[in-house]
Amino acid sequence: MKSLKLLTALFAITSLTALHAQDTNEAGHAMEINISEVALLDIYDENEGSEAGTITFELDNSSITEAGLYDMSGATYTGLWLNYTSLIAEGKGNNSNNGNGKGKGKGKGKGGSSKDSRNISVQMEKNSEFPEGLDLVITSSQSSFVPNGGDADSRGEFVSGGVALGATTKIGKNITLIEGIKSVYTGDGAKGFQLTYTLNQTDNFSLVKAGNYTATLKYTLSEL
């Protein structure tokens, strides 16, 4: 029994010595960095110095001064800035079919192709009211991004010529405004893409009726 205890003690001492003998002048340990995907956006109104609120177009009699004409050239609003932050995971596809929500998922599918980027779409929400025969045209004539917040490839591209909501894109239907957004942050305030809203006559003037109309615009930065 004493011999067995002695052998056990010797084995334990030998094992402990062997473990300590493995140390060298180098050591290391594992580390994990977890970065989550991000999709955030808001709209800044530099005219008010705050996030965008209610925007009003007044087409009253004071702007209509010549019989035989109806001038809508002053029905425009600028100074809105689209701020957004996007962080994407490499290799994750977005089959968004131009922002209309169909065919969404990984890989290629009917109605779109897989890509590692996001879109920003816009719509007039359901239950919005908007005069027939007119469009709200959304364009961008300039952009401004913070240094190192992204590059020309990751910021996304504004749709050429802008988009038209109302007679052209019906209430409740999404349309893509900016596409190809990757990892980027625009900066806050007067940064990102500047937006201009313009009311245009699109259809026959016989469709336009006097009244007070209330509509809500919804911008969406797509998920991947």
Per the structure, how many domains does the chain have? 1
Q: Given this model, what pLDDT does residue 18 score?
A: 53
Q: Please check whether residue 181 lies inside any domain of the structure.
A: yes
Separation of alpha carbons 55 and 216, rounded Å = 10
Cβ atoms 84, 192 nearer than 8 A: yes
Q: Please check whether residue 93 lies inside any domain of the structure.
A: yes
Q: Please check whether residue 130 lies inside any domain of the structure.
A: yes
Q: Given this model, what pLDDT does residue 11 score?
A: 52
Closest to 190 in 3D by CA, of 138, 156, 146, 155: 146
Name the β-bridge partners of 218. 123
- Measured from the Cβ of residue 169, the count of other Cβ atoms closer than 10 Å reads 17
Q: Please check whether residue 16 lies inside any domain of the structure.
A: no
Q: Please check whether residue 21 lies inside any domain of the structure.
A: no
Mean pLDDT of 176-202: 97
Separation of alpha carbons 114 and 106, rounded Å = 7
Q: Has residue 8 got a pLDDT over 60?
A: no
Q: Given this model, what pLDDT does residue 71 score?
A: 83
Q: Given this model, what pLDDT does residue 93 score?
A: 46
Q: Please check whether residue 17 lies inside any domain of the structure.
A: no
Q: By residue range, what is the domain housing residue 121?
A: 38-221
Q: Please check whether residue 131 lies inside any domain of the structure.
A: yes
Non-local CB neighbours of 23 within 8 Å, separated by 6+ positions: none
Confidence of residue 74 (pLDDT cuts 50, 70, 90): confident
Enter the pTM of the model: 0.78
Q: Please check whether residue 9 lies inside any domain of the structure.
A: no
